[in-house]
Amino acid sequence: MRDFYDDDRRASSDEVDFGASWRTQGQGPWRVIWLRGTGELAAFDAGGRTSVPTGRLGLGAMLGGGGADEVVVLGVETDLEVVQAALQGWQDHMTDENGLAWLAERAAELGREGA
């Protein structure tokens, strides 16, 4: 996670919290934030595990191994209103067994023209 915040745009950015109880295949928690400085929607493995099995989100390439310091950028969109619209209802899915996959599917559309 330290490497993620080595970028000054991230380190000095305001953050918008999208919850800290996300689950993936019943495991977690993951914390999700949006960074105003970069437009990144990022998930942080806050579970303290030593590894994250590949494919936990149903998006194996996205999470591929890692650990408690794992950071995954789910999408990029510089307009917070667009992010909020794409993730509408996120509070209802955060503690679902695989709620992070729900979020990742919506985040994958961020930053695409016409999305």
Cis ω before 29 (30° cut-off from 0): yes
- For every residue of 41-87, DSSP letters joined together read EEEEE-S--S---TTTTS-HHHH-S--TT-EEEEEE-S-HHHHHHHT
92 Cβ neighbours under 8 A, 6+ residues apart: none
pTM for the full model? 0.77
Spans of the chain below 70 pLDDT: 1, 48-69, 113-115
- In this prediction, residue 57 carries a pLDDT of 41
Please, is 110 exposed, middle or buried when counting C-beta atoms within 10 Å of its C-beta (0-12, 13-18, 19+)? buried
- In this prediction, residue 1 carries a pLDDT of 65
Measure the CA–CA gap between 73 and 92, rounded to whole angstroms: 21
- In this prediction, residue 113 carries a pLDDT of 55
Which residues are bridge partners to 41 per DSSP? 34, 75
Ranges of each domain in the chain: 4-107
- In this prediction, residue 56 carries a pLDDT of 37
**pLDDT tens-digit series, residues 42-58:** 999 877 554 433 333 43
